[in-house]
Amino acid sequence: MKKPLLAAYCTNRGIPQLTEEDIRRLDVLYIAFGRVDGTSVSLQELTELGRMEEIRRLHPEIRLVLTTASGAEGGFPAGTKTEADARKLAACLAQTVRDYGFDGLDVDWEYPTTDGDPSERHAHTVLLKALREELDKLEGRHTLSIAAGCKTWYFEITELAQSVQYLDYVNLMTYDINANCPYTMHHACPYPMATDKTAEGSAAENIEVFHRNGVPLEKILIGAAWYSRQWKGVPDENHGLHAYAGEGSDYGPGYTPLMRDYVGKNGYVRYWDDAAKAPYLFNGENFITYDDEESLRWKCRLVRESGIAGIMVWEYTYDEEHTLLRVMDEALRSPLPGQ
């Protein structure tokens, strides 16, 4: 059986931090971000692209993909007001892919219509179709992917059931899933919680949601979170899990400072939710949810057992000790139980 894809998002400051070992482990490196404003794109913040040649030398089979997100001047909505605008933006993005030697394009227009314009739902489709057409004009095969929000709701704000035909991959952001819930939750768990205040709150459930709504399994990547979310002022009950905190969570520490400064320190105790296959920390007042080596092994097992394309990481720089990609790579290669 072919090994599933292992992919990572990496911001500009992380490009110099990429180790030779991690480069060789990765199948796809998403380089973030090219900023879209109207019908143009800027790579101004990507000052470390000069390392692309070395990365290719170390791992000739790796795919280096430009990840694009909205900039400060209107972003994707401003660039897709009309079909002509969308085609102009698509041509600009494809030209950028060619000029810089990227192997594909990733569109991080995460939540169309949420600014109040329902026309963005179809504009999202128009852009993806135009991008597929423009990328196909280039020499060689160039992949097209999107970062997608979770839950059935995502199919209400996009036409993904239709536009998936233009995509190679759908990168499911199976993190921050329950971040806005007033109850403490896992934000990136592989499997459902035994007591869940929300629906579709795990990676496994969202694989099913997207597949049921027309996304082929072989196009789905789930996401791993190398950072945490935290609720404060949590009642000291049930070790803090499923407790009413009154409001949603905030971003917490990245993986390395979390392991160094929180686990087993300042009153924080690590607990394991065996139903969700996810860890969390609680100190009697503050609740922190995150992925660690154990939960990532379970996520990689889920990838293999479900038959999806692979798993991606947000974001490379959060693991300063460079341990997690090794763990994930080994988990994607190791025999499954019973094999």
pLDDT at 336 over 90: no
What pLDDT was estimated at residue 201? 95
What pLDDT was estimated at residue 197? 56
Sheet containing 278-282: order of strands: 250-254, 227-231, 287-289, 278-282, 269-273
CA distance 296 to 290: 10
pLDDT at 204 over 60: yes
**131: exposed, middle or buried (C-beta count within 10 Å: 0-12, 13-18, 19+)?**
buried
What pLDDT was estimated at residue 115? 87
Average pLDDT, the chain: 97
First to last CA, the chain: 12
For 187-213, give one letter per residue: b (16+ CB within 10 A) or e: bbbbbbbeebeeebbbbbbbbebbbee
Q: What band does 72 get if pLDDT is binned at 50, 70 and 90?
A: confident
The whole-number average pLDDT for the span 97-111 is 98
pLDDT at 160 over 90: yes
pLDDT at 198 over 70: no
What pLDDT was estimated at residue 194? 85
- Pairing between β-strand 63-70 and β-strand 269-273 as defined by DSSP bridges: unpaired
Cross-strand pairs, 272: 279
pLDDT at 250 over 90: yes
Q: What band does 16 get if pLDDT is binned at 50, 70 and 90?
A: very high
Q: Name, of 64-73, 112-121, 222-231, 238-247, the range with top average pLDDT.
A: 222-231
The whole-angstrom distance between residue 250's C-alpha and the CA centroid of its chain comes to 18
pLDDT at 339 over 70: no
Q: Which residue has the higher pLDDT, 197 or 171?
A: 171
Q: Please, are residues 34 and 41 in contact by the beta-carbon 8 Å criterion?
A: yes
**3: exposed, middle or buried (C-beta count within 10 Å: 0-12, 13-18, 19+)?**
exposed
Rg (CA), the chain: 20
The reply to whether the predicted model has a pTM over 0.85 is yes
Could you give all domains of the chain from N- to C-terminal order, each with its CATH number?
5-224+292-333 (3.20.20.80)
